[in-house]
Amino acid sequence: MNIPFVGPTYAGRSGNIDASRSVNFYPETNAAGAKQPMTLVGTPGTLLWASLGALPIRGMHVMNGVLYVVAGSRLHSVTAAGIVSPALGLLTTSTGRVLMADNGAGASGVGGNQLMIVDGTNGYIYNTATGVFSECVGGGFPSAGAASLTYIDGYFIAAAQGSMDVCASDLYDGTTWNALAQSPVSAAPDAVRALANLHQQLWIIKEYTSEVWYDAGTPTSQGFPFLRVPGAVIDYGTPAPYSVARGNDSLFFLASQRNNDGGEFVGVVSLYGYAPQIVSPPQVAYRMGLYPTLADAFGYCYSDGGHTFYVLTFPTGNATWVYDASTAMWHERSTWRGSPYAVGRHVGNCYAAFAGAHLVGDWQSGNIYAMCSDVYTDNGLPLVSVRTAQHIFDPNDLSRLFIRRLTVDMETGVGNAATGLAPACALSWSDDGGHTWSGEYAASMGAAGAYRTRAVWRRLGSFRDRVFRIAISDPVKRIIIGASIE
């Protein structure tokens, strides 16, 4: 008979309730009439695309067909062929995340040819037409150092961390910030955390509230160009400024909900209109809430193969969670940590879609990788996909069950003909809710072209409550369809 096996990550307060986890697997729903309603697909591997030296990649941004990268304290440009320029400018900081935005190429008379960078200490402008790199100083630019940045309607909008004020540059000129072009964001007394442009409206995400502003057409010589949309104050903010990401025509961020004069962590929120939706189930929010801090979490969105993913990494918590907006399900991603079952954060520290590739910058080095669904290693290191399935038990009275045979239905015959690799998957199980595990027992996934291979395990003993776990580490395609027992 078929047993529950495929699904998202839902392990929460206790593995005795639900131990299911999908690490480097994501669920994909199937059309009506398919063999199973859902399958598990292996997450993308990575290939080295470019290297900028032994410095962490702090941020990436695409402007006018060129990739701009901050690595350590240096700004570089990278061509579609992966050719890295000499340093275009130097930041005064060499660690921490950066934000970048641009005001467009000005060849047609619209746009300022300016790339702006903020690092929480200073703001910088790189003029792509003249090659001049300069710091933003004086005028109305945040004296405490901008930590939030976006672009909308010809203006750069910035805010200092811990401030209740926002300020705007002159039109298409990030080197000029009029002292009059700033405004308090004061519907609630919490500080500005992040800025975003969604549906050509300025979204100001604060600690536990958010406000939506529109372009009122006020010249910067007379005041701040934007005004709040009447009534558009939302009782959700963020403890993690860098978790705010735009994707699927929405904003996603790690959220705190306003409660009286403060905020309480509630999980991950999606904002499409003015009505927020919590997209993290209680089990996922519970596990996120266990991390030592939420403040350093960061997120990005990308779309691939019909899925839109919101990738949320907790550096201190050493974890990466991914929400699939196409299925409304969560999974986890992890880069090799020296053991098949050791789960940590993904290698990606920032993201850019460029030259037809999904690029991520390495948080430990100066490498940029291309994420590819048909690559099955992480830059040569093992990419281990692990599915911990749902509990199997007698729902009537927890009577003892006996299993003669377990068959995991998966795509087989995926070995490598060139190398002669005949891949295998490893089965283990737990009879105590995932607290302890058996040894591993391997079954073949089939040499290249051996499509009738079946992954079968026999004489698996008896139990009252069992959780099965499958792990695949060989560099092959991974598709799991379901499982059955006899």
In tens, the pLDDT along 307-355 reads 999 999 999 999 999 999 999 999 999 999 988 899 999 999 999 999 9
**Residue pair 360/46 in contact by the 8 Å Cβ criterion:** yes
Domain CATH code at residue 410? 2.60.120
Do 167 and 301 lie in one domain? The reply is yes
What pLDDT score does 107 carry? 67
Query: Based on the domain organization, do 24 and 74 belong to the same domain?
Result: no
Cβ–Cβ under 8 Å, residues 363 and 296: no
Do 352 and 391 have their domain in common?
A: no
**pLDDT tier for residue 104 given thresholds of 50, 70 and 90:** very high
Instruction: Look at residues 381, 416, 434 and tell me which one is the last residue of a structural domain.
Output: 381
Together in a domain, 286 and 401: no
> Are the CB atoms for 238 and 254 separated by under 8 Å?
yes
Q: Stretch 154-173: mean pLDDT, rounded? A: 94
Residue 370 has pLDDT above 80, yes or no: yes
Please say whether the beta carbons of 47 and 318 come within 8 A: no
Give yes or no: residues 143 and 158 share one domain: yes
| pLDDT of the residue at 153 | 96
Of 330, 341, 478, 334, the residue nearest 408 (C-alpha): 478
Residue 339: CA atoms inside 13 Å, Cβ hemisphere, count? Answer: 4
Same domain, yes or no, for 391 and 294?
Answer: no
Are both 340 and 451 inside the same structural domain? no
pTM of the model: 0.96
Residue 440's SS3 state is coil
Interval 78-98: pLDDT, tens: 999 999 999 999 999 999 999
Residue pLDDT, tens place only, 166-188 = 999 999 999 999 999 999 999 99
pLDDT digits (tens, 9 = 90+) for 406-444: 999 999 999 998 888 899 999 999 999 999 999 999 999
436 shares a domain with 316: no
> How far is Cα 68 from Cα 12, in angstroms, rounded to an integer?
40
Distance from the Cα of residue 13 to its chain's centroid: 23
Give the mean model confidence (pLDDT) for residues 187-202. Answer: 95
Residues 262-272 have a mean pLDDT of 92
**CB-CB neighbours of 451 under 10 Å:** 10
**Residues spanned by the domain of 160:** 45-381
| CATH code (residue 258) | 2.130.10.10
102 in the same domain as 34: no
3-state secondary structure of 284: helix
The domain boundary residue, chosen from 349, 381, 413: 381
Do 61 and 20 lie in one domain? The reply is no
Whether residues 38 and 93 fall in one domain: no
Q: Are residues 411 and 479 in the same domain?
A: yes
Number of domains in the chain: 2
Q: With b meaning 16 or more CB within 10 Å and e meaning fewer, what string describes 14-51?
A: ebeebbbbbbbbbbbeeeeeeeeebbbbbbbbbeebbe
Classify strands 66-71 and 99-102 as parallel, antiparallel or unpaired.
unpaired
Q: Which residues contact 157 (CB under 8 A, 6 or more apart)?
A: 149, 150, 151, 166, 167, 168, 169, 195, 202, 226
DSSP 8-state assignment for residue 421:
B
- The tens digit of pLDDT for each residue in 395-405 reads 888 899 999 99
Looking at 381, 414, 436, the residue that finishes a domain is 381
Sign of CA dihedral 470, 471, 475, 478: positive
Query: What are the angstrom distances between the C-alpha of 266 and each of 14, 49, 58, 235, 283?
Result: 19, 37, 28, 12, 11
